[in-house]
Amino acid sequence: MFRPLLTALSALIALPFTAMADTPFSLEPVARFEQPWAMAPLPQGGFLVTEKPGRLAHVTPSGAVQTITGTPTVTDDGQVGLHDVALAPDFDRSNLVYLTWVDGAGGGALHLGRGRLDLAGQQLTEFQVIWRADPMGGDGHPGAMIAFGPDGHLFLTSGDRQLGDPAQVLDDSRGKILRLTPEGEAARDNPFPDAPEVWTLGHRNPYGLTFDATGRLWSHEMGPRGGDEINLITPGQNYGWPLVSEGRRYSGLDIPDHATRPEFAPPLLAWPPTVAPAGLIYYDGAGFPDWQGSLLLGGLASQALIRVEIGPDRAREVARWDMGARIRDVAADATGQVYVLQDGSDAQLLRLIPKP
């Protein structure tokens, strides 16, 4: 049972943050894209960037943009298409790259696949599907974010596809966070014997997933009308969607909040005025020493970069910087440089340059 104290703590810290902080950085353009979704810094410099219509792009250290071939066919419709990109923990040896995407009739299914990156040939080789949502279908809300845990397992967010109810059905992969092997199989020691892939349930649309320095897993997800959340993810927990939420239905009707149902894990931070979170990293780099130990996330509707301080059982927004555009993803490279990826047409990848 989730501790009642955490519910009270959530109520204290889940307050709206509206002030824009003084910006401690300038922005340097790196490259431009068409509807980019996610990015992964490469150890040798540069990036892989996904574009929702289906392109995987390689950004060289000099900022040149090249197309990587060998990627899957996707259904580019509304909120779905080609989504996350992640490097295998042993990428330096294996060159394995993981992608998520939606494809198929009836709204399509979320897919997870992997292949070997051949930069010299500008292609993915040996690409194969290693997991597919079952059942498929829905509209939007794919989740589709990847994070590798300290134990090497692959964690995958699977959105509720705007259906709601599947998030509470254990043998339905929608509305869940899954824990898989690097080959796409259910991890052996997951908490639900009757749903062997599932790590947690009761999620709406988790668009951010990251591990902190102590090995804890954090996620954020979009609420329906307000009520965006940051959650500390612990195995076997039910986070309540669609039975509880800190937001309202699009019609304006109320949804019971987490305090009414203590059996559901409450968010550690909720935003009543929506920020529309997208992208999430734990930052411990040298470029911005004051940010070390914080979560960094982008805001779509809020057009912001947001910094959240975290503790053992808390999360608190401490800064929000106006970026003048919707921010789809955030990344940091091995040197601690921070990058943001804008959303939409003719969107920019930008490097944050610390001000003196």
SS3 of residue 316 by DSSP? strand
Closest by alpha carbon to 118, among 144, 84, 85, 94?
Answer: 94
Closest by alpha carbon to 241, among 177, 297, 156, 186?
Answer: 177
**Distance (Å, rounded) from C-alpha 34 to C-alpha 286?**
31
**Distance (Å, rounded) from C-alpha 339 to C-alpha 27?**
9
**Residues 168, 176 contacting (CB under 8 angstroms):** no
SS3 of residue 353 by DSSP? strand
- Indicate if 203 belongs to the active site: no
Tokens of 269: 């931070």
**Distance (Å, rounded) from C-alpha 115 to C-alpha 110?**
17
Q: Which amino acid is at 249?
A: R
**Residues 329, 37 contacting (CB under 8 angstroms):** yes
The catalytic position among 83, 111, 141, 220 is 141
CA dihedral 48, 51, 54, 57 (to 10 degrees): -30
Q: Which residues are catalytic?
A: 141
